[in-house]
Amino acid sequence: MSRKFGFGKPSPGDDETTDAKGEKNEVSQGADATQAVTPPLPANPLRHASDGAQADPTKGPAATDAADEDASGMLAYQNLERHRKEKRRRRNVKIVVGACAAVVIAAAIIVPRVLTPADAGKQMPATAEVARGDLTSSVSVTGAAQPASSVYVTPEVSGIVQDLRVSEGDTVGKGDVLFSLKNDSLDRAVADAQRQVSDAQAQVNTAQRGVDSANAAYKKALDAWNSAQDAETQAGLADPDSLYGDVQTANDGLNSARSALDSASQALADAKAQAAKRMVTAPASGSVVAVNARNGAAYGDATGGSTTSDGTGQGGQGTGAGWAVQIADLSRMRVATQVNEVDISGVAVGQAASVTFSAIPGLECDAKVEKIATVASSDGSMGGDGVVTYEVDLVIDQPDERIKPGMTANATIQTQSVSDVLMVPIAALNDYDESAGTASVTVVTLDGEGNVKTSRDVDVKVGEKNGSDAAVTGVKEGETVKLADEGDSADGGAAGGDASAATADGR
């Protein structure tokens, strides 16, 4: 007789059935399981139900039923396995999501605490060290570089420019020819003057002969008169005194002729000098920085010749084309600046300055204050921008050859310099009395984190100051002083410092 294998009680030795029951119990305990299924025991068609003899599973209806039951059990078992895997996957996803959420929450709580110190809300006090050095004050101004002195050459006579011999950048010496002018009227004036001289000279020669003749006649008559034997003999001779008048007349004529000759000679000299002005020469040595003259250009009569300038103007100019050549002494350069009325009281002649040029990076020239204007260059009461300034001239005694007239110059005038003094920031001064020159500073010691350990107030004597620092006495080099800030008061800071000092002493 055959035995069917289903969901009945398994045989004691059937391990697969036992495992299936355990799986059934486990599935029944799951929260989302809807049906408990026990996997079917695999059929063993070779075992007989009663005597254990082998049977042919292909024979009889029992074999067909057993095969159907086995197929159903295998399908249920596969469904169970898929359910268990899905449950484990969901459980793992929940665990991972929960762990990530826990990490994010922990980071949000812990990281800010780690990155932000416990005393982050407390601002460390601003401090500075007492330093030894040079205390300086300065005024910054701008201007334009110009030659310290210039000569503007203007033709003194009219004419057409010819034979121009110079150009910008040339170096010339005093008396060198710059160019010449063509003017025929000057030649004619010289020729006329020469003829006048010749005529005057002829008149002088004629007058001289008349003087010589009158003198000879007078001398002959005088000798004859003096050599006469008696009065009767003298009575028959010409009276020398009557001839003396002729001598005087002849001498007067000679003097007049000579005066005319002198006048003619002077006229000739003037004509020659005027004609010589057609040759325009350099009145001083220097560098040619500008040339207005051009060959073929006409110049009219000029009111003056070369005009010396301080570098800011052209001086006198002719009534025609004006100045022709500018010659400058580039061995010294001048920088004209404007200093605000607020700073002018600190500027004095002889003060040192440094000058830089926008067009020549890296170049710095030493200069000094040469001149300070007495009258303001601009008056705020007269309108405009309302700024009152005074012209201050700086001179560079040894300028760089790359500096060109007109270059923009930036100058710093050193208005104060005190060497080897102890300095503290002005912000460290407490209760400063400018008239008495007294103040106090708070000397502090700091721990490794920059917090104040001890503090004490020290009276100091204040000397010179600039915009940021003050020279003081009463403290030591290297000591740390506290800078005043908006949240501190002098009394509060002192009280806090005393408390800290007391605590330190108590230890």
The pLDDT tens digits of the residues spanning 351-405 come to 999 999 999 999 999 999 999 999 998 654 444 467 899 999 999 999 998 998 8
> What letter represents residue 377's amino acid?
S
The pLDDT tens digits of the residues spanning 294-321 come to 998 888 754 445 555 544 444 433 334 5
Q: DSSP letter for 23, please.
A: H
For the record, the structure tokens of 340 come out as 């605000």
For the record, the structure tokens of 279 come out as 């040759």
The neighbouring-strand residues paired with 365 are 355
Residue 477 vs residues 260, 334, 443, 462, 473: alpha-carbon distances, Å: 92, 42, 12, 15, 10
For the record, the structure tokens of 186 come out as 């000057």
The neighbouring-strand residues paired with 369 are 394
The pLDDT tens digits of the residues spanning 244-265 come to 888 888 888 889 889 999 999 9
Q: What is the mean pLDDT of the chain?
A: 75
Predicted TM-score (pTM) above 0.85: no
5 pLDDT above the threshold of 80: no
> What letter represents residue 120's amino acid?
A
The pLDDT tens digits of the residues spanning 286-297 come to 889 889 989 988
The pLDDT tens digits of the residues spanning 212-226 come to 888 888 788 787 777
36 pLDDT above the threshold of 60: no
Between 131 and 497, residue with greater pLDDT: 131
Pairing of strands 131-147, 408-425: antiparallel
pLDDT at 100: 67
**What b/e string do you get for 286-311 counting C-beta neighbours within 10 Å, with b at 16 or more?**
bbbbebbbeeebebeebeebbbebeb
Q: What angle do CA 304, 307, 311 make, to 5 degrees?
A: 150
DSSP string, 68-124: HHHHHHHHHHHHHHHHHHHHHHHHHHHHHHHHHHHHHHHHHHHHHHHHS-TTTTSPP
User: Scanning the structure block, which residue is given the tokens 């034997």?
Assistant: 229
324 pLDDT above the threshold of 60: yes
Report yes or no: 422 and 414 within 8 Å, Cβ to Cβ. Answer: no
Give the pLDDT band of residue 494 (cuts 50, 70, 90): very low
Where helices occur in 117-239 by DSSP H, the ranges are: 184-227, 231-235
The neighbouring-strand residues paired with 470 are 424, 465
Report yes or no: 132 and 420 within 8 Å, Cβ to Cβ. Answer: yes
Report yes or no: 351 and 369 within 8 Å, Cβ to Cβ. Answer: yes
**What b/e string do you get for 3-35 counting C-beta neighbours within 10 Å, with b at 16 or more?**
eebebeebeeeeeebeebeebbeebeeeeeeee
Contacts of 462 (CB under 8 A, 6+ apart): 429, 432, 434, 437, 438, 439, 470, 471, 472
Ramachandran region of residue 450, left (φ > 0), alpha (ψ -120 to 50) or beta? Answer: left
